[in-house]
Amino acid sequence: MLDGKDNPRGKQALDVSVAFTVLATISVSLRLYTRWFIVRAPGIEDYLIAVATICSILLTIAIAYQAKWGMGKHADTLSWDDNVKVSKAFWASLIVYYLSLGLTKSSILLQYHRVFPTRKFQLACWGLFAVVVGYTIWTVFGSIFACVPVQAFWTKEKAHCIDQFAMWFTNAAINISTDFAIILLPMPVIRRLQLGKRQKSALIGIFAVGGFVCIVSILRLQSLVAISNSTDQSYDNPAAATWSSVETNVETRIDVKVESGEGEGRFLSGWETPRSKGARSSTETLVKDPRDVV
């Protein structure tokens, strides 16, 4: 157990990360149970969000190890060995952080593609999906090979290294942009639908969570700016670690809300479900996939 008196900043970062990870894991587990064992129609997006959740759990574990070895303490109080261990855990946390975000965004876009059948929307969806996949590949491999040889990231030996702060700021800016794009993408389609109060409330809930993710992403960027200007990065890093964990887990919640909002699609009037037995509305928007009626 981490001693809160010895390292209160590290303990706080870990506690927040664990809390959000537990909530996200429960939400995703309920969704996957429904899709696999009740509806019996899992999709690719379900596998993606399952792996994203595993990555989020691994991120929390990496934060735990960082806190255990000194994240949150002043750098001059840490031994060289502890600094190496913190840096190694931090390196691992970057990889699973970017992988979790990329998989979650991809899962959301695949759900969009399934739920909204219009050709223009699906082309836009695939375009954004390509951006997300490219961004994820870049961030994951960029994090792994931030230094060559790789171990120079934590040993600080002479090596060829990417400007880490420039890379993090660039990645954060693209991440925030894709968050906004994913939230705004279905708006033109949704705006044309005739929705009741209940359906509108469901959509408000989904996009409220999406808006919160954008805010969290911006707060994480702010914490990165603070670290870049810090002379004591081990002491100032808990804020960035906390926001990274919160971001991945809240983004997972968006995926679940998109999937489960008012019965996975029934929140949009005019969508066809087995219960409606062929009933159509003036929107002529249909969903025939059994995964849309969880």
Q: Is it the case that residue 92 has pLDDT exceeding 80?
A: yes
Task: Look at the chain and report how many structural domains it folds into.
Answer: 1
* String of DSSP letters for 206-240: HHHHHHHHHHHHHHHHHHHHHHHT-S-HHHHTHHH
Residue 272 belongs to some domain of the structure: no
- Report the CATH number at residue 75: 1.20.1070
Residue 271 lies in a domain: no
Rounded to an integer, the average pLDDT of 260-278 is 41
pLDDT value for 154 = 93
> Looking at residue 157, what is its pLDDT?
83
- 146 within some domain: yes
Q: Is residue 290 part of a domain?
A: no
Output the CA torsion sign for 219, 227, 74, 56. positive
Residue 68: give the domain boundaries: 8-261
Q: Tokens representing 231?
A: 């002379």
Query: Does residue 269 lie within any of the structural domains?
Result: no
In tens, the pLDDT along 217-258 reads: 888 988 888 888 888 888 999 999 999 999 999 888 776 766
pTM of the predicted structure, to 2 decimals: 0.85
Cβ count near 264 (within 10 Å): 24
**Given a cut of 80, is residue 260 above it in pLDDT?**
no
List, for residues 176-214, the tens digit of each pLDDT value.
999 999 988 888 877 777 767 676 666 666 667 777 788
Distance CA 259, CA 46 (A): 10
Asked if residue 83 is part of any domain, the answer here is yes
Instruction: Determine the pLDDT at residue 269.
Output: 39
284 within domain boundaries: no
